[in-house]
Amino acid sequence: MKRWPILSWLLIAGAAAGQTLVDWTQAPGRLGLGYPVPIPEDTPIAFDGFRSYAGLHARHQQLLLEAPGFSGEVVGQTLRGRDIWLYRYGGPDAPDVEGRTRPAILINGGIHAREWQSPEVVTGLMELLAAGGDDRHWLGYLRENTNILMLPVLNIDGFLQTQRYPRSNVLDSDPQFPQSAPRDGRMRRKNLRNADEDLFSIGDHLFGVDLNRNSSPFWPGPPINFSPTGLTHAGAFPASEPEIQALQAAAVAAPGERLRFFADMHSFARVLFSVQTGNTRRNQIQSGLLAMASQHHQALPGGVVYTDVPEPPNAGIGTTSEYFAHAWQVPALTWELEPGSAGGVEYGGFGTNGHDGFILPESQIRRVRDNMALTLAAVGYHMAGPPHLLALQVIDEASGALVLDRQWRPGGPAGLRTLDQRQLQAIEPGRPYLVWLAFSKPMRWRDDGGAVVPFPGRAESAIAAALELRLGGQPLAAQIGPPQWSAQAAMSPQGFRRYRDDAFAVRLLVPDSAENRARIQQAGPDARATLGVDVRDMTGHRLDALPATPVDWQGGHWQGYEDADGIAGDTGGPDRQQQLPLTVSAQGGLFAIDAGHSGGWFDPSRSGEGFLLEIIDGERAQVYWFTYDEHGAQRWLSGLGEIQGNRIRFPQLFVTTGGRFGPLFDPALIEREVVAAGEFWFGGCDQGWFDYEGLGRRGRFQLVRTGRPMGVDCAPPPGAIADPRAGQGGSWYDPSHSGEGFALQWLGNGEMLLMWFSYDPDGRQYWMVGTGRLEGDEVVFRDLHATRGGVFGPGFDPARIERFFWGDLRLRLGCQRGEAHYDSVLPGFGAGSFDLHRLTGLRGLDCQGP
């Protein structure tokens, strides 16, 4: 390899000449940019400048180790043997919230070495997702429902070469444009095939393969460039380069059949070179998607405009985006980042050589990085799929009681959703209701002041919602108020369901007019009005009008995305699947939860797990859910809920870790983790339901009582306490053992129902249950038992529950203090005692005394 000393190299005019990039000064051999020459820095954290590859890689690995939702894998090696990393946000193994395999989108960065904006932007997306994944809004939605694959630096060898020489390149050597095309060093584009990493060994500096010319189906062009020294050398054959093989491996690992989008991030020109195939539906979806992305980006600070420039159908030059569009039938494009066509002059640069467009000023990269991350997240939100109306609840405005509940649930035959309905009453004319509608994704954007506004780039009309009632195919006169979107975690109708602004409530009144009554009577006892709901998500998707058939992506278009007539396509339409029962007959009053709902509750089909519910003062309730983990071991959850009408909502059900049974228990080691949310609602004194979502599951229990508590009845007000002992009911704990305790209630039959939520000697959650009787001044539990064999979620089989004797327990209780003595027959538990303090008391059961 011929080496030229640097001093002479700078002076030589002829075969190759050195060029030094400087900030402002112009002189022979020096190119003034008009802004400071960006120098990569070895820092992982985004700043107003560019990060070195070591810095970027450190950042990626940090996110992998520290940010929830991230995983990573090596998908190949560069020519020089460097690992090419693929990172994921949301994994292929973790199902979405409905238990389905997640859709995937793939963003590739750093294919062309000198385009430093590209790795920064892909890393910026990773950083946005890491920072916002707990937002309970669109980023949280992405974390729970998508599989976003990010390959920040594909051409690592070339990228390192540009960073090794951030101020230098070689001029006068390009075979086609010797006077104008700087090569290698800061201006390297290709990989390092047959080239070394020494800028000053001139003989090989033009070699390399253009990785964006190395893909089927249009390899090798035209234009065809088989010259190894050519700037766009296509390589020996399609995917001849290990870097392209790694990218294709990333697609397969996605997995490929779940891919819905691909972008290859480049610079510069601010254009979106989108690929068109013979699949017109795919082309149209892509066009709409990129229009949304462009409008979104333009609405962000800076007002930067990206223009979609679709390629002619079935034509290409060998790019990666062509490969993805044709091989995987997904929207795919070459995304040319800032600056625009004029290059650095946009930022006050001198534009002496148009190549300065590859050198974005450091003063701009933060904006470019942050804004583009938002737009790419918007693309992910859009391609995650259209929304559907997931749940409807009708709430009696006067009492706050839930009278109708309809929810689409996954898990039906052939992957379909099934509509689960509970109806307590029908809609009566003249009676005001609140109708709460929840959707499958966050649907609205808010400004900094909290007002619902169109998503950036969308028109004001995009946030409209149209609702109508029809009876017998004809409109039914009804007053439907404006939608109130829910940004707070609360029970319906005020709260959202899973993500902020995934639900809204409207006030509904069917006027008690003669005409309405006549029409309802004419429709008969099963009169049902159809509720039409027409609303779009943040990026413009209309509803999937037939939620029973989940939307997917197959063959380069949406599948199962029906309009109001049930015809599958790519546009959706109003949902008309919701039927509201109507009646003009007098219905009974609606009851509200009161003290009598305290007690043990369980689903008869799931004997072996259940709930101990405490209705306490202040319209609140405490629940203990004794259940199992995924492996057959016991687990218990607890939480504090709010009561509204006939419902109790528990927004945070948590599990604890860090406990040990017995004297090794250290309250300082107890950690609480919120893992689920749930809601009880009751149709009467002895009948109810429990809906939950969490721990990777969503489900509904149909509940009956295990027994009624002593001293309170279901109907308020509670009568006089028959036995003053009843007031002892509630939760008790030993302050030196905060993190475990007892929930107990006196039952009407004179027994005490008790749940002991604790840990086993190995530190796992553990619970015991039993009933005790008064013996002297003690409550004695002679048959305290534990269980094993249950499984959380739908795999639960009551026949596999094994109940076994744990030991006995004796309680001596006052009203505020007490003591407990236990003696276990099981190894590791032993005998011991607790100094008990009251934590909660049941509503309606007073207890006077110490």
Binders of other proteins among 669-688, rule CB under 8 A? none
State the Cα–Cα distance between residues 777 and 652, nearest whole angstrom: 37
**636, HSE (Cβ side, Cα atoms, 13 Å):** 27
Q: How far is the CB of 135 from other proteins (least distance, A)?
A: 18
> What track of x and - describes contact with other proteins for positions 246 through 265 (by CB under 8 A)?
--------------------
For other proteins, the binding residue among 317, 395, 520, 595 (CB under 8 A) is: 317
Site residues for other proteins, 227-246, by CB under 8 A, read: 231-232
Distance CA 180, CA 171 (A): 7
From 288-296, 351-359, 513-521, 679-687, span contacting other proteins (CB under 8 A) = 351-359
Nearer to other proteins, 234 or 676 (CB): 234
Considering only residues 79 through 108, tell me which ones interact with other proteins, judged by CB under 8 A. 80-83
B/e letters for 10-49, b = 16+ CB within 10 Å, e = fewer, are beeeeebbbbbbeeeeeeeeebbbbbebbebeebbebeeb
Q: How far apart are CA 34 and CA 522, in angstroms?
A: 80
- How many other CB atoms are found less than 10 A from the CB of residue 151? 26
139-168 binders of other proteins (CB under 8 A):
160, 163-167
Q: Which two tokens stand for residue 718?
A: 């509670």
Q: How far is CA 679 from the centre of its chain?
A: 21
- CA 307 to chain CA centroid, Å, is 29
Binder among 268, 625, 732, 796 for other proteins (CB under 8 A): 268
The distance of closest approach from Cβ of residue 211 to other proteins in the complex, given in angstroms and rounded to an integer, is 12
Q: Both ends of the chain: CA-CA distance in Å?
A: 93
Binding residues among 13-72 for other proteins as defined by CB under 8 A: 13, 17, 19, 23-24, 26-32, 34-36, 39-49, 52-55, 57-59, 61-62, 65-66
Residue of 528, 564, 524, 526 lying closest to 544 (CA atoms): 564
> What single-letter amino acid sits at 802?
E
Strands 697-707 and 599-602 come out as: antiparallel
Choose the binding region for other proteins from 97-105, 343-351, 599-607, 656-664 (rule: CB under 8 A): 343-351
Q: Which of 120, 184, 338, 346 binds other proteins (CB under 8 A)?
A: 346
The footprint of other proteins on residues 820-839 (CB under 8 A) is: none
With CB under 8 A as the contact rule, the residue among 109, 349, 457, 596 that binds other proteins is 349
Residue among 64 and 815 whose Cβ is closer to other proteins:
64
User: With CB under 8 A as the contact rule, which of the stretches 237-245, 361-369, 722-730, 820-828 interacts with other proteins?
Assistant: 361-369
Whether the CB-CB separation of 793 and 697 falls below 8 Å is answered with: yes
Query: Residue 148's beta-bridge partner residues?
Result: 89, 105
Query: Smaller CB distance to other proteins: residue 273 or 759?
Result: 273
Distance CA 433, CA 590 (A): 13
Q: Which of 280, 284, 341, 554 binds other proteins (CB under 8 A)?
A: 341
Least distance to other proteins from the beta carbon of 155, Å? 15
Find the shortest distance in angstroms from Cβ 190 to other proteins. 12
For the segment 529-588, give every residue that binds other proteins (CB under 8 A).
none
Enumerate residues 6+ apart whose C-beta is below 8 A from 221. Answer: 213, 234, 317, 318
Residue 386 binding other proteins, by CB under 8 A: no
Which residues within the stretch 287-316 sit at the binding site for other proteins (CB under 8 A)?
307, 309, 311-312, 315-316
Q: How far is the CB of 444 from other proteins (least distance, A)?
A: 31
Q: Report the distance separating Cα 281 and Cα 270, nearest Å.
A: 25
Scanning residues 105 to 134, which ones bind other proteins (CB under 8 A)?
none
Q: How far is the CB of 88 from other proteins (least distance, A)?
A: 17
Residue 343 C-beta: closest distance to other proteins, Å: 6
Q: Which C-beta is closer to other proteins: that of 128 or that of 471?
A: 128
Nearer to other proteins, 176 or 559 (CB): 176
3-state secondary structure 805-839: EEEEEEEEECCCEEEEEEEECCCCCCEEEEEEEEC
3-state helix/strand/coil string of 614-658: EEECCCEEEEEEEEECCCCCEEEEEEEEEEECCEEEEEEEEEEEC
Binding-residue total with other proteins (CB under 8 A) = 97
**Cβ-based nearer residue to other proteins, 197 or 526:** 197
Residues 163-222 that bind other proteins (CB under 8 A): 163-167, 171-172, 176-177, 179-182, 189, 212, 218
Contact stretch for other proteins (CB under 8 A) within 279-287, 354-362, 451-459, 768-776: 354-362
How far is Cα 801 from Cα 632, in angstroms, rounded to an integer? Answer: 9
Query: Which DSSP symbol is given to 778?
Result: E
